[in-house]
Structure 1
Amino acid sequence: MTYQTIRHERDERGVVRLTLARREKHNALSALMIGELTELAGRLGADQTVRAVILDAEGKSFCAGGDLEWMRQQFAADRPTRIAEATRLAMMFKALNEMPKPLIARVHGSAFGGGVGLISVCDAVVAERGAKFGLTETRLGLIPATISPYVVARIGEAKARPLFMSARIFGAEEAKTAGLVSVVANIDTLDAVVEAEVAFYLVAAPGAAGRAKRLARSLGSPITDAVIASTIEQLADTWETDEAQEGVAAFFERREPSWRS
């Protein structure tokens, strides 16, 4: 099957390289990309010949977060539409998180907002030393709601709180200390380190690896449909605040929001 926003290819080992392919948009998550990633996650998860998946990206950035046009549509939408779109995004993260295959991220450039969400649903994350990360939603008067269950599952509440609240940008070494990144590598050795990471999973029985992943998830805080729905309701509530309206408007008008003037 051909996709418009992503590419995928499988080698003779059964390792699939899944590539975000919106380089001109810094691989921001559009409505189309959300749908395509959800569909492909289901296909790869059901394919018994797939041994592992590498998630990478074209261009200068891994993923800049939400697509601007998609955000503009949410800004103008009513509450039910915002909830429906946030639910589609949540189901994408859920599909990737529950895919019964090792999922290894190769991160370069920047990963902001939803890009951090993508990293959080991976089983291992290899990042270039110069990569930058950020949960930047509060700069717009919003909250990182849809990705929050996966970020907290990965790094814990204590480490998530200041990153959620401050919206500050941080580097790869700090991301590793927080638990978001598994390995930091120089850009010229990044691919070799990713391959070394993949090799660990290829010695495991494929079915057992998938069951072990499900076991680990079952022992953590469960990310149930009720949890997902609660985060989406909180996001919908936040969209209706004066801060969100001001923050998003300021972003599109290329000015500082009122709280920074």
Structure 2
Amino acid sequence: MKKALFVLLFLWVGHSAIAQDLVLTQAGDSINCKIKKVLPASISFAQVQDGKLQQRTLPRDQVKLFQYNYYPSDYDVINTSSVTKKPNVSQQELPRWRFGIGGGLGYRTASTGDVPPIIEEYLNGLKLGTTFNATGTYFLRPFLGFGFTHSSFFAASQIKDQPVTTSNGNTFVLNVSEDTYMHFTGPTVTTRFANASSMNSFQGSFGVGHMGYRNYLKNGGEITLEGKTLGFTLELAYDLPISDHWAVGFQLSSVIGSFTEVEVTTPTRKYKDYLEEKEDLNRIDLTIGLRFTK
């Protein structure tokens, strides 16, 4: 009895309420309804069908478009399955929170300079490495958010038992190795663009923060070189939803910074020094990872 009264009340007061929203399927069906929830992988809504209130959920790939507060006067309507105006993307319930982790390859863009081939090969080994990142963003508006980013880069190279002849004719065996680590951490501002039908999204972020550098050098002894500076990052990301809250993300990012002051640590002492030329930390990263949105 209560359910019947509810449906009657829903029909009496709710035609404007239930009919305000529109869902248009890929098959061309127009559904007058009340949209309850919009997620990257599905849309949930309530509609009256055969005098009964029904709750329905459709996968996003079956939905061509949807519109809140739908009024026929806003559209060029030929029949109930022909709608020519697309929804305003800003009205969609885009996630406010976005967190991501990823990994991939990084490449330092600094030139190796004019050096012997064996040294050039050694330095090139320090330019290509493994990178990891983590990001978090809160969107105050559908297309504007603020958050943080962190990225780490690891690379290593070595020369082992390599005979080297000096300019005066002396020959010696060269053994040297380096393990380098770089990181960037800082706040970011992000702009987002979302696809109206699939909820695929593109994010562009800019950040300013702290860059750190550490180099473990072995050349007959162990030396650690450390530096730090103010850095900048630019990140371009594209997310492909795989469920309501999870997505696969692809990211291309650039990190910029350099320093000249270095802290040197040897087995016997620790001191500060200045490099003759600045250490260029500029880098390009390409990563793939997971995103969680809510």
TM-score (norm 1): 0.19
Structure with larger RCO (C-alpha < 8 A, sep 6+):
1
Of Structure 1 and Structure 2, the greater strand share is in 2
Greater C-alpha radius of gyration: 2
TM-score (norm 2): 0.17
